[in-house]
Chains A and B, each alone.
Chain A
Amino acid sequence: MVPCDTVRGLALPLHTGGGGLVPRGTRVQVFDSIFEVFLVLGTLVGAVVLGYMGLKAFQYRRGAEHDDGDVSRPVLGELPRGSEGGGKLFVSFGLSAVVVVSLISWTYLTLLYVEDPGRSAADPEALEVEVIGGQFSWTFVYPNGHRSTVLRAPADTDVHLTVTSRDVFHNFGVPGLRVKTDAIPGQTTSTWFVADEPGTYAAHCYELCGSGHSFMDTEVVIMEPADYEAWYANTSASAGPANASAPNATVSDGPTRLPTTAKGVGA
């Protein structure tokens, strides 16, 4: 089971010492806490820099009162050279470097967590699902061989996805669960998510893959663990769409054919 004991939101990670500084938890929590910090700092830095820039431009506009008696102005035909003021330049540069480098280093610690949340793939509780992208639908293969075009998974459980494609480059993403990875023919990528609560989430394709790209959507249904167990017990390898490990008929579709599996608009 997943330790959801950790931080939520922005304030907590900054105020709990030690390991609490690095956002952990579900991917939604991790993303939200980092995004919020970036948004706040980004807005602040932007406001300061743009404000200063606007102020100086206004102060030193022609006709304004300012003392420029000792300022030397560029002269036509001079050898190009610079002005004084390098010291200030390096202070500002140093400051911005510290902000950027520390922000990114901080998120790097979270990246290490996201890449390896400390729950090995051998975790008996974890659910392993294979995701296969194809023009223009997704196929999910469960450990028992069951195939489906909708992903069902239990809440509060580690779900590991192994993602590939049977035709072109796709990208499988579930924005509501903050999980996303490329689906590349001939390669596999892996990722994971944990859903806090039962519900239905939309999944989309995030890499242009042909005429049906806009509609290469599906659903991720998160169920109560008990409901899921009941559903899973009734599945078998024979169900679901045709064998997806070999290129199927849609592969040769020209770009002029409309997708037959379009799920409608948005989600």
Chain B
Amino acid sequence: MSDGASRLATPELPDATTLKRWFVTTNHKDVGLLYVGTSLFFLVFGGVLALLVRSQLWVSRAPGEGLLGPVAYNQAVSAHGLLMVFWFLSPLAIGLANYVVPLQIGAKDLAFPRLNALSYWLYLFSGLLFGVSFFQGTSFSGGWTMYAPLNVPTFMPSLGATTTVFALILFTASVTVGGVNFITTIHRMRAKGLSLWRMPLFTWTILLTVWMMLFAFAALLAALLVLSSDRLLGTMYFAQSSPGGALLWTHLFWFFGHPEVYIVFFPALGVMAEVFQTFTGRRIVGRKWFIAAMVLVAVQSFFVWMHHMFLTSISLNVKTLFMATTIGISLPFDLMVFALIYTLKKGDIRFSTPFLFNFGALVLFILGGITGVFLGAVVLDYEFRGTYWVVAHFHYVMVGGVTALIGGIYYWFPKFTGRMYDEFLGKVHFAMYFVGFNLLYFPMFVAWETPRRVFAYQSSLEPWHQLATVGGFLLGSSFLVMFYNLYRSAWAGEEASASPWEYASTAEWTVSSPPPLENYDGYPDYTEGELRYLDEATVRAESTGAGGAAAAAADGGTLLRREG
């Protein structure tokens, strides 16, 4: 695709039923599906590790008892966290974004399709490399936060740990390449008349996500490169003998790590906003403020990292500052939550699977948010540090986000495949998921005195951990229902129209399901206040000033009107 002309021509791609197509494709919709599929693979990978952890926690164990030995347990805990945060959550969101964002903004593809494919393949291989690390002695076993100096060879000499660090670097490369691509696309390739303020909310969340990624992952990359140098070249930046080494890691890691929370959560928020609007039949309340709140959070997310370090040697003044910024960043979320809730009012609400998942996600996020305020009180945080309160809180937030993204999969499934999923099985999935989720994570609040990442705990807490384990298996098995439903429906589901959801309003629903390779028949244009497709002659006429927009609508444009 060296010039504009060849870009407009239909690219030669093998048929979608052939394996070759998926190896050579650069089309954003194909890459999106590859991302979604691969991320679900890593969900299973990370999920099985979590079930191993939960099995080990069935009763309080002495060393060497149970399924996992001490080092195996630490590996399972660490790999579960890393895989879920890096290789499942973000890529699932990026997969949906790959498919949906160009369609929502009226672009034929992302700005750099080959770069997009590169970003996917870097992602896949970084994940496979992580898998390889399990076969090189031991994988990384220092937790997903990878604190120094436990992460240096003195304490973690295995080759597998180095491989894990390298896998993360490769993943960062993928994220950076992908992020630049989305930033360019969203800023430069929107349909005429679609200003930034007017962008659909899902696209807004993705735009903010990729901007945050660009800066946050730079800090992670710095930390990982220095760590690689320590591991491979024998430098001593993070060594125990380096007086500031351990703190340096926590600063670098959390400067990345806190924005990462929003990087992971924002796309889920975008899905919630879209699904709420469609299934309540209401436009979101306070849209402008919703967007402003998100922009504020995106910027402020870089100024709260030290709240992960309240018990380190930082001074009271710094603690005070970061307590204030932390509370500050929680308030915009209040506004977003209320905006979503008030959108329900005067709605025509249909409890289909996508809405159930997103409604559930909001419930979980509210619970995660309230328990987060506990952590914002430094005096309480001192005692919650390193306990299951933190584990329960961030799972409510993070997996709450997953809940919305799963709803997003159901929401866009008819667009992806041209077929409808089975609604009954979708609801069964939701019921199992929601019950399993709360059975898994709520007992962790009750048993919050359990220290994190241990498998020897107060035996009086055993019943709660057993409930959690039961919930974990229920949550895990609910995905079997989803996989079966999606697999079967993709081939044998009822055929879906271009816009199967009543009140859906964004542009992806104006094209057929699945959309043609080039997305649009004509040029999407919003200058008249609503989407219409212009033919080439009209666009040329408009750009040379020969005809005004009104004339264009009269002679070339196809106004889009569809009755709900």
Q: Which residues of A contact B (CB under 8 A)?
A: 30-31, 34-35, 38, 42, 45-46, 49-50, 52-53, 56-57, 60-62, 66, 68, 71, 73-86, 88-89, 92-93, 96-97, 100-101, 103-104, 107-108, 110-112, 114-115, 135, 165-169, 171, 173, 175, 178, 180-182, 184-189, 204-215, 217, 247, 251-256, 258-259, 262, 264-267
Contacts and interface: CB of A to CB of B under 8 A. Distances in A.
Contacts of A45: 370
A80 B63 contact: no
B506 A80 contact: yes
Nearest to A96: B334
A111 B377 CA distance: 9
B23 interface: no
A153 to B, nearest CB: 19
Contacts of A207: 147, 386
A185 B149 contact: yes
A184 B313 CA distance: 8
Q: Which 3 A-B pairs have the closest CB atoms?
A: A206-B386, A82-B287, A186-B243
Contacts of B193: 79
B459 A266 contact: yes
A110 B341 CA distance: 34
A74 B505 contact: yes
Nearest to B313: A187
A85 B342 contact: yes
B379 A181 contact: no
A71 B246 contact: no
B528 to A, nearest CB: 9
Contact of B244 (A110, A186, A208, A210): A186
Given A96-B331, A114-B379, A206-B385, A57 B281 contact: no
B334 A265 contact: no
A4 to B, nearest CB: 18
B115 interface: no
Contact of A108 (B242, B320, B499): B320
Contact of B60 (A71, A173, A206, A266): A266
A188 B313 contact: yes
Contact of A89 (B148, B285, B382): B285
21 contacts: A30-B379, A31-B383, A34-B377, A53-B362, A57-B344, A57-B349, A60-B349, A62-B350, A74-B503, A75-B505, A77-B532, A77-B561, A93-B338, A104-B377, A169-B246, A187-B244, A210-B155, A211-B74, A251-B240, A255-B156, A266-B459
B240 A185 contact: yes
Given A74-B281, A76-B504, A81-B287, A89 B339 contact: yes
A65 B345 CA distance: 13
Contact of A77 (B288, B320, B449, B507): B507
B542 interface: no
Contacts of A53: 341, 344, 362-363, 366
A66 B281 CA distance: 14
Nearest to A101: B327
Given A49-B366, A186-B247, A208-B74, 15 more contacts: A61-B351, A75-B505, A76-B509, A76-B510, A79-B194, A80-B505, A89-B338, A175-B383, A186-B240, A187-B244, A187-B247, A206-B387, A208-B147, A258-B63, A266-B459
Interface stretch (B28-36, B198-206, B468-476): B198-206
B373 A100 contact: yes
A259 B69 CA distance: 12
B280 A79 contact: no
B450 to A, nearest CB: 9
A182 B526 contact: no
Contacts of B546: none
A161 to B, nearest CB: 12
Nearest to B61: A265
Given A204-B454, A212-B70, A214-B455, A56 B530 contact: no
Contact of B366 (A46, A173, A184): A46
A112 to B, nearest CB: 8
B141 to A, nearest CB: 6
A191 to B, nearest CB: 8
Interface string B546-564: 0000000000000011101
A62 B349 contact: yes
B143 interface: yes
Given A45-B370, A180-B382, A259 B63 contact: yes
Interface in B441-484: 449, 451-459
A74 B452 CA distance: 47
Nearest to B326: A104
A113 to B, nearest CB: 9
A60 B71 contact: no
B125 interface: no
A140 to B, nearest CB: 19
B285 A84 contact: yes
Contacts of B154: 251-252
A206 B155 CA distance: 18
B494 interface: no
Contacts of A115: 316
A214 B456 contact: yes
B311 A171 contact: yes
Given A111-B379, A181-B311, A255-B141, A76 B505 contact: yes
A187 B201 contact: no
Contacts of B330: 100
Contact of A46 (B319, B341, B367, B379): B367
Contacts of A169: 147-150, 246
Contacts of A258: 63-64, 70
A74 B277 contact: yes
A107 to B, nearest CB: 4
**Which one of B194, B334, B376 has the highest number of Cβ atoms from chain A below 10 Å of its Cβ?**
B334
A167 to B, nearest CB: 6
Contact of B338 (A42, A79, A92, A108): A92
A107 B363 contact: no
B176 to A, nearest CB: 28
Nearest to A66: B346
A85 B283 CA distance: 11
Contacts of A181: 311, 382
A209 to B, nearest CB: 6
B425 interface: no
Contacts of A88: 285, 342
